């Protein structure tokens, strides 16, 4: 059964993504899903930060799928389809910076917004040089994240 709330969630390590029923329409008991055009992927190991970021992204009218680690994201179809990626820098397993390298090696040019609790100017410079849209310190200022999403989705730096 397809949930009608448009949520993309992470349950027990598995991403359960409804192809976005954000504006689904009911026709004689059927749910018709709109064409997804803007999907924001969130890769964050902290469940509360992941949920808050997903909630913010959805409140802005975008579809969102969240993942607890980089490997899970890379196994998903959203690794190649996301319009933008918001990723933590330091996570167990593959780091956000390593995720960026893998995506670049695959030829994926998805704009990336990094967030981190442990700011490091060397890593920040590497990420930006490799094409990251922004590198934000936690706690992330909501307005700054919104501006970064705008830059990522509209190609402005």
Q: What is the Cα–Cα distance from 118 to 120, expressed in whole angstroms?
A: 6
pLDDT at site 14? 35
Q: Is the pLDDT of residue 156 over 60?
A: no
- pLDDT for 113-154, tens place per residue? 999 999 899 999 999 999 999 999 999 999 999 999 999 999
**Dihedral Cα 147, 64, 46, 55, nearest 10 deg:** 70
- pLDDT for 6-36, tens place per residue? 334 433 333 334 333 333 334 445 544 445 5
Residues 6+ apart with CB under 8 A from 11: none
pLDDT band per the 50, 70, 90 thresholds, residue 155: confident
- Domains, the chain, in order of start with CATH, read 37-154 (3.40.50.2300)
State residue 29 phi and psi, 5-degree precision. Answer: 85, -5
- pLDDT for 103-113, tens place per residue? 999 999 999 99
């Amino acid at each position: 059964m397809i949930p009608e709330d448009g949520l993309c969630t992470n349950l027990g390590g598995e991403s359960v993504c409804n192809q976005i029923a954000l504006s689904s329409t009911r026709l004689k008991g059927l749910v018709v899903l709109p064409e997804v055009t803007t999907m924001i992927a969130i890769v964050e190991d902290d469940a509360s930060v992941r949920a808050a970021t997903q909630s913010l992204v959805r409140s802005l009218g975008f579809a969102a799928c969240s993942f607890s680690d980089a490997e899970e994201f890379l196994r998903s179809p959203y690794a190649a389809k996301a319009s933008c990626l918001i990723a933590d820098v330091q996570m167990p397993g593959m780091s956000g910076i390593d995720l960026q390298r893998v995506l670049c090696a695959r030829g994926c040019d998805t704009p990336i917004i990094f967030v981190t609790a442990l700011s490091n100017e060397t890593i920040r410079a590497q990420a930006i040089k490799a094409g990251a849209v922004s590198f934000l310190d936690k706690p992330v200022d909501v307005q700054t994240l919104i501006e970064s999403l705008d830059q990522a989705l509209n190609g402005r730096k």
